[in-house]
Chain A
Amino acid sequence: MKYSPMSDDHTYRLLVAKMHDVSSLSPQSVGPLSPMYHSIVPFFKHAPWRMFAAGSFVVTGILYLLFGVALINIVSVLQYGF
C-alpha cells in the first residue's frame, strides 16, 4: 500500500484552512463580563433569527406598556419613512 504525506491529504488541508480561519482573530474578551458574553454569543451564531423574533416580541410588549396606544402614531410616522 502506498502512503502519501499528510500535507497532500484533502481533509487535512481543509482542516488546516479551517483552523487558520478560526485562529485569525483572538477570542473576544470583555473583562469581567467575558463569561456572560461567551454564554450569550452561541445563540447568535446559529439561526439568530430566533433571538431576534423573541427580542422583538419582548421589546414591542415593553413599548406597548410604556406608550400604550400612542405606539400607533409611531407606526404612522415610520410608514411615511420609505
Chain B
Amino acid sequence: MGFDLFARVIIGFILFVRNIIGVVQTPYETYRNLSKGNHPEQLIPLVLIVCAYFAWSALVRHGIRANPMLLTYSFSALFMASIVTFGLVVGTIVVAGRLFHGTGSFRTVVLPWGYSLTPTIMWFWITSMLWVVFPPPRTGSVAGQLLSFVFIITSLFLFFWKGVLYYLTLRFGMKLDLVKILGVSAVIFPMGALYAIIMYRLGIFRIPFI
C-alpha cells in the first residue's frame, strides 16, 4: 500500500516533467492526452510549486521579520483562495461548456486546466522576484525603459501561452469548436472579471491567480 502510493507519486513527478515539456513544445498533442484524465497525481508537483510560491509571496509581501502568525495567515488565505478559484473555474468551464453542448466532465478538464496554470505561476514567480531585485516604481531612464519592455514582452508571452492553453482546455477537455469556445468565453469572462474584483476588494489577489 505504502509502496503503491510512493510509486504513484514518482510516476506523477515523471509525467509532470514530461507533460510540462509537452505543453511548451507540442501543446495540442499533450492536451489531447491530458484530456483523458489519467494519472491525476501528476498535479502534485504543480501544487507543491504553487505552495512554495505562496510561502515566498507571503515573505516578500510582509518581510522576513514579520510575525509568523501573519505569514501563516497570509499563506493560508492565498492557498485556500487559489484552491477555491481552481475548483470554481473548472466547475464553470464544465457547466458553461455543457450549456454549449460540450461533452466533457470535471475529470477531462481538471488536468488541462491544471497545466494551464504553468504560465500563471511563472508570471507570479517572475514578478515577485523582480519586485525584490528591482522594486517599483520604474523610472523613465534608459535602464528603466529597457526593463519595462522586457517585462511587458515576458508578460505578453505568458499571456498568449495562457490563451492557447485555455483554448485547448475547452477544445479537448469539453470537445468544443471555436465558435462554441467563443460563446463559452462570453459567459465565463464577465464572471471571471467580477470574481477578480471581489478578490481584489477582499485583499486576497491584486491580480487573480487564474
On A, residues with C-beta under 8 Å from B are 21, 24-26, 28-30, 37, 44-49, 51-53, 55-57, 59-60, 63-64, 69, 71-76, 78-82
> Is A49 in contact with B161, judged by CB distance below 8 angstroms?
yes
Mask: chain B, 135-148; 1 = CB below 8 Å from A; 0 = not: 11111100011011
> Is A76 in contact with B137, judged by CB distance below 8 angstroms?
yes
> Is B161 in contact with A28, judged by CB distance below 8 angstroms?
no
Could you say which of A26, A28, A48, A81 contacts B164, with CB atoms under 8 Å apart?
Answer: A48
CB-nearest residue of chain A to B168 = A44
On B, residues with C-beta under 8 Å from A are 24-29, 32-33, 57, 60, 124, 127-128, 130-131, 135-140, 144-145, 147-149, 151-157, 159-161, 164, 171-172, 175, 177-179, 206-207
Q: What's the minimum C-beta distance from B27 to chain A, rounded to whole angstroms?
A: 6
> Is A75 in contact with B148, judged by CB distance below 8 angstroms?
yes
CB-nearest residue of chain B to A42 = B28
> Is A44 in contact with B152, judged by CB distance below 8 angstroms?
no
Q: Compute how far the CA of A24 lies from the CA of B151 in the bound complex, rounded to whole angstroms.
A: 40
Q: What's the minimum C-beta distance from B118 to chain A, rounded to whole angstroms?
A: 12
Q: What's the minimum C-beta distance from B111 to chain A, rounded to whole angstroms?
A: 15
Known: A52-B156, A56-B157. 16 other contacts (CB 8 A): A21-B32, A25-B172, A25-B175, A45-B28, A49-B161, A51-B160, A52-B160, A55-B156, A56-B160, A57-B153, A60-B156, A69-B145, A73-B137, A79-B130, A79-B136, A81-B127
Please count the residue pairs between chain A and chain B whose beta carbons lie under 8 angstroms apart in the complex. 107
Q: Compute how far the CA of A26 lies from the CA of B180 in the bound complex, rounded to whole angstroms.
A: 13
Q: What's the minimum C-beta distance from A15 to chain B, rounded to whole angstroms?
A: 16
Q: What's the minimum C-beta distance from A43 to chain B, rounded to whole angstroms?
A: 11
Q: Compute how far the CA of A45 lies from the CA of B29 in the bound complex, rounded to whole angstroms.
A: 8
**Given contacts A49-B24, A53-B157, A56-B160, are A79 and B151 in contact (CB under 8 A)?**
yes
Q: Compute how far the CA of A71 lies from the CA of B153 in the bound complex, rounded to whole angstroms.
A: 12
> Is A82 in contact with B57, judged by CB distance below 8 angstroms?
yes
Measured between beta carbons, the chain B residues less than 8 angstroms from A71 are: 148-149, 152
Q: Compute how far the CA of A82 lies from the CA of B145 in the bound complex, rounded to whole angstroms.
A: 21
Most chain B C-beta atoms within 10 Å of own C-beta, residue among A21, A79, A82: A82
Q: Compute how far the CA of A74 lies from the CA of B157 in the bound complex, rounded to whole angstroms.
A: 16
Q: Compute how far the CA of A80 lies from the CA of B135 in the bound complex, rounded to whole angstroms.
A: 9
> Is B138 in contact with A76, judged by CB distance below 8 angstroms?
yes
Q: Compute how far the CA of A23 lies from the CA of B157 in the bound complex, rounded to whole angstroms.
A: 31
Could you say which of B25, B124, B156 contacts A46, with CB atoms under 8 Å apart?
Answer: B25
Q: What's the minimum C-beta distance from B74 to chain A, rounded to whole angstroms?
A: 13
Q: Compute how far the CA of A37 lies from the CA of B32 in the bound complex, rounded to whole angstroms.
A: 19
